[in-house]
Structure 1
């Protein structure tokens, strides 16, 4: 009997739908006409054991117990899904072959591998296990995937990488959360001070941004604008470009801080002749943006509709699992396999049937075009998020579902549109020895931008008359423009997600910054939304309209922790190593040994921390009336909180060892 083990019931149903019929539904599996069976996990069926499972003394939180390093790692069945795990174990014993059908990512690989291992599958069965990679639940796509089974052993390094991440996060979260919660208790703080190798640097980004805003002092600066006429009285403006002689009057960003200097320039150039010293005219073009991965979709949905990362992920899961309208949503790739180009007519026809708003865009699309998105070299386990070939009555979708579907569909359609083309002109003008610059863009062909409402930049709105090098002009007026420096903007869902994906910008170590420019950033596509949501639930982050700020407890925690824990350098370095493990370029043992050595030092440092900042702080408001609850996240980890009035000793041991 061949046994298919899917990650979720929806995937199991999709697999069974294209396999031999008639079929019989049993408790926890579907039996096919040929005797084969399709079963499923319900996310993670196994979770890491709590510290007290290794030693009963760890039930009490005590500094002398730290650091906690298990000698032999233990997994335990989740109580709510124990019956499904039992059903799978029984089927594994009867199976003559197994097909691993976890989601096509690091966590999906580990999730089913753990179940197979826990079910005590025979060595030969594990060696011969095959891997089914499905990113589209439509029957045609599932059938194609079933014809392309691979050896599961090809993905062993991916599973090892996920295992290393899971265990390292457990160690980091358990030990530092206990250490700092106990330090907070010494000052009378009754909340759980959760520390995670991803969530804490994210909190650090927000805390530091809030501090920059609070400490910001606005300063005036000045620009000089010259109003110029050609001999034919054609008008345009140019901005003064300060020379090196002006540096003593400028700030670090080159802004002029002296109004008398700006006024002096106005007096010198007003009513004076000008000369076009140089003229640069270039034809430029912009390729259409690539199809979405999850983070880029979440960023655009936050900008356009103010949806949170978690909302977008939940919507995408529904569009994928329930409606089968999009491909696998937790993708970190923005590229497509070349063979997928042949399916474009069916996909575009489905978009046209599903979306009235995109009907004209579908008609105008040139399906013979092949953008740079089709690149086999950049497609690994899964490809970009795109619409499927399924036609659907969109009236059945909610407004948010329609909005996200149309974002994904429009981004796909862009691949069949020409480049945006424009002419860029830059004129350098000398007036009374002062240098001025005027720039303008002239649209030549909208191309893919025709699918978007036009928002013109200052350069796009500026116009220049026909100019020639050496042409004489007249400055008919000049004026000082009074400006004010602006504080940094508070984070929003879109900008915080962008910061997580472009984390190299915030990394302090120059060598690590260079490495991270080509990596996936802080956290993964599958975990970012859950981590942000966790910080809100724990009361470390707060929303004020669209803005995101840190709470008092969040600020106190960041200020108490070593800088190593609050900057993204360390966790980004982890991600680099974990990726190296998945590529078989680094060993599991080497990563874990280095991580445990560093963690021992951090726990030791916590003993001498001044936790005075927690004195008088109430636990976060969102932590009131807590009851134990689990987060339904990709990593299968749990979020534990405490009931009001219960002691920290009883409950803080339940704090999630979060990323």
Structure 2
């Protein structure tokens, strides 16, 4: 009997739907007509053991126990899904071959691998296990994937990477959370001061941004705008470009801080002749934006609709599992395999049937076009999020589902439209020995941009026909009063963008250079959960669309070593975990280095002054629209110092 083990019931149903019929449904599995069976996990069936499971002493949170390093790692069955694990174990005993059908990422690989290992599967059966990679739950796509099974052993490195990540997170979170919570208790703080290798650097980003806003002092600066006229009466505006002689009157960003200097320039150029000094004209084009991965979709949905990262992920899971309208959503890739290009006409036909709003755009799309999105070299375990060939009336979707589906659909549609083409002009003008600059874009072909209509900017100027050496006249000039602006508070969109573009915030120059082309902070699958967790624990608070750090978050970040609150270490971890998945680094080397680092961090925590947590005994109350927002769960955790140690340990994750 061949046994298929899917990660979720929805995937199991999709697999069974294209396998031999008639079928019989039993508790926890589906039996096929040929005797094979399809079973499923319900997400994680196993969880890591708690510290007290290794040693009863660890029920008490004490400094002398730290750091905690299990000698033999243990997993235990989750109580809510124990019956399903038992069903799978019984089926494995009867199986003659196995098919691993976890999600196509490192977490999905580990999740099913752990179940197979936990069920004490025979070595020969494990060795012969095959891997099914499904990223599209439509019947045709699943049937195609079933014909492309691979040896599960090929993905052992991916599983090792996920195992290293989950164990490292356990060690880091358990040890540092206990250390700093104990420090907080010395000053009467009653909450859990949780520390995580991803969540804490994210918290550090927000704390530092809040601090920069609080300390910001606005300064006035000045620009000079000249209005120029050709001999034919055509007009345009140009901005003054200060010379080196003006450096004493400028700030570090080149802004002029002296209004009297700007006024002097205005007086000098009023009603003066001008000459075109340089003229650059260039035809340019812009390729369609790549299809979405999860982070880029979350960022756009946050900007457009104000959805949180978790809301977008939940919506996508519905679109993928329940409606089968999109491909696998937890993808970190924005590229597509070349073989998918042949399905474009069918996908476009489905989009046309599914959405009246996109029907015209689908008719005008050219499926023969092949954008840079189709690139086999940049597709690994999964590809970009795109619509499937499933036809379903949009009326069956909720409003949020419809919106996100249309975002994904438009991004895919753009691949079948020509480049956006425009003429870029840039001119410099000499007026009374001063240099002024103007630029403008003239649209030649909107191309893919017709899919993303925007409001016209009435102030956007065009340049008249000009030539080098042409004589002009400055008919007017004015001083533009400006003010330096503080950094903007984080929003869902900008915080997600910061996590994905983490190189910008990394201090180590060598690591910064590497990270520009590699991973961000966290993964596509974990970023939404990390942010949601920080809100639930009351570390992050909302004020309308803005995200701020709570007082307890600020105190924790101030008390922790810089290593813990900057993204350098976490980014380095992600780099190593990726190397493990590529067989370029070993699990053992990664864990040994981590243990050495944790010894040092725990020693440092013992030297932290508990004064950092003075005044934080009673965290701010909940209130979603209030700056001092706390989640209900976070407020309850902080309301009493008599939480059980088991709950403390759970909160330390």
Name which of structure 1's ranges 265-274 and 141-150 shifts more when overlaid on structure 2: 265-274
Aligned to 1:573: 572
Aligned to 1:647: 642
Aligned to 2:16: 16
CA spacing shift, 1:457–1:307, aligned 2, 3 Å: same
Q: Deviations over 1:100-121 (max 9, x none)?
A: 0000000000000000000111
Counterpart Cα distance in 1 of 2:43 and 2:50? 19
Shift of 1:454: 2.2
Aligned to 2:584: 585
Aligned to 2:364: 364
Aligned to 1:354: 354
Aligned to 2:428: 428
Q: Deviations over 1:523-566 (max 9, x none)?
A: 00000000000000000001111110111111111111111100
Does the Cα contact within 8 Å between 2:292 and 2:411 map onto a contact in 1?
Answer: yes
Aligned to 2:602: 603
Shift of 1:599: 1.0
SS at match of 2:357: coil
CA spacing shift, 1:2–1:606, aligned 2, 3 Å: same
Shift of 1:256: 0.4
CA spacing shift, 1:471–1:529, aligned 2, 3 Å: same
CA spacing shift, 1:640–1:519, aligned 2, 3 Å: farther
1:404-483 aligned at under 5 Å gives the runs: 404-456=404-456, 461-483=460-482
1:34-45 aligned at under 5 Å gives the runs: 34-45=34-45
Aligned to 2:298: 298
CA spacing shift, 1:257–1:239, aligned 2, 3 Å: same
Aligned to 1:487: 486
Aligned to 2:506: 507
CA spacing shift, 1:60–1:620, aligned 2, 3 Å: farther
CA spacing shift, 1:166–1:324, aligned 2, 3 Å: same
Shift of 1:456: 5.0
Counterpart Cα distance in 2 of 1:644 and 1:505? 37
Counterpart Cα distance in 2 of 1:549 and 1:359? 42
Does the Cα contact within 8 Å between 1:61 and 1:649 map onto a contact in 2?
Answer: no
Aligned to 2:542: 543
Q: Deviations over 1:363-400 (max 9, x none)?
A: 11011101000111111111100111011122111100
CA spacing shift, 1:21–1:649, aligned 2, 3 Å: closer
Does the Cα contact within 8 Å between 2:104 and 2:135 map onto a contact in 1?
Answer: yes
Q: Deviations over 1:297-352 (max 9, x none)?
A: 00000011100000000000000000111000001010111010111111111111
SS at match of 1:284: strand
Does the Cα contact within 8 Å between 1:107 and 1:159 map onto a contact in 2?
Answer: yes
Q: RMSD in angstroms over aligned alpha carbons?
A: 1.6
CA spacing shift, 1:584–1:254, aligned 2, 3 Å: same
Aligned to 1:194: 194
Counterpart Cα distance in 2 of 1:297 and 1:173? 29
Counterpart Cα distance in 2 of 1:657 and 1:101? 31
Answer yes or no: is 1:317 the counterpart of 2:312. no
Counterpart Cα distance in 2 of 1:78 and 1:37? 23
TM-score by length of 1: 0.96
> How many residues in Structure 1 have an aligned counterpart in Structure 2?
646
Aligned to 2:155: 155
SS at match of 2:477: strand
Aligned to 1:632: none
Aligned to 1:51: 51
Does the Cα contact within 8 Å between 1:231 and 1:473 map onto a contact in 2?
Answer: yes
Counterpart Cα distance in 1 of 2:565 and 2:620? 20
Shift of 1:453: 1.7
Counterpart Cα distance in 1 of 2:403 and 2:620? 34
Answer yes or no: is 1:520 the counterpart of 2:515. no
Aligned to 2:626: none
Shift of 1:650: 3.2
Does the Cα contact within 8 Å between 2:423 and 2:443 map onto a contact in 1?
Answer: yes
Does the Cα contact within 8 Å between 2:331 and 2:524 map onto a contact in 1?
Answer: yes
Counterpart Cα distance in 2 of 1:96 and 1:599? 44
Unaligned runs of 5+ in 2: 623-628
Shift of 1:652: 5.5
SS at match of 1:231: coil
Counterpart Cα distance in 1 of 2:319 and 2:631? 34
1:209-224 aligned at under 5 Å gives the runs: 209-224=209-224
Aligned to 1:634: none
SS at match of 2:195: coil
Shift of 1:624: 8.6
Counterpart Cα distance in 2 of 1:368 and 1:403? 27
Does the Cα contact within 8 Å between 1:192 and 1:652 map onto a contact in 2?
Answer: no
Shift of 1:268: 1.2
Counterpart Cα distance in 2 of 1:575 and 1:624? 30
Q: Deviations over 1:587-634 (max 9, x none)?
A: 11111111111111011000111232322211353599977xxxxxxx
Counterpart Cα distance in 1 of 2:47 and 2:430? 71
Q: Deviations over 1:406-436 (max 9, x none)?
A: 0000100000000001100000111111000
1:305-344 aligned at under 5 Å gives the runs: 305-344=305-344
Counterpart Cα distance in 2 of 1:393 and 1:269? 63
TM-score by length of 2: 0.97
Shift of 1:462: 1.3
SS at match of 1:93: helix
Aligned to 1:29: 29
Name which of structure 1's ranges 104-113 and 602-611 shifts more when overlaid on structure 2: 602-611
Does the Cα contact within 8 Å between 1:332 and 1:520 map onto a contact in 2?
Answer: no
Does the Cα contact within 8 Å between 2:187 and 2:614 map onto a contact in 1?
Answer: yes
SS at match of 1:357: helix
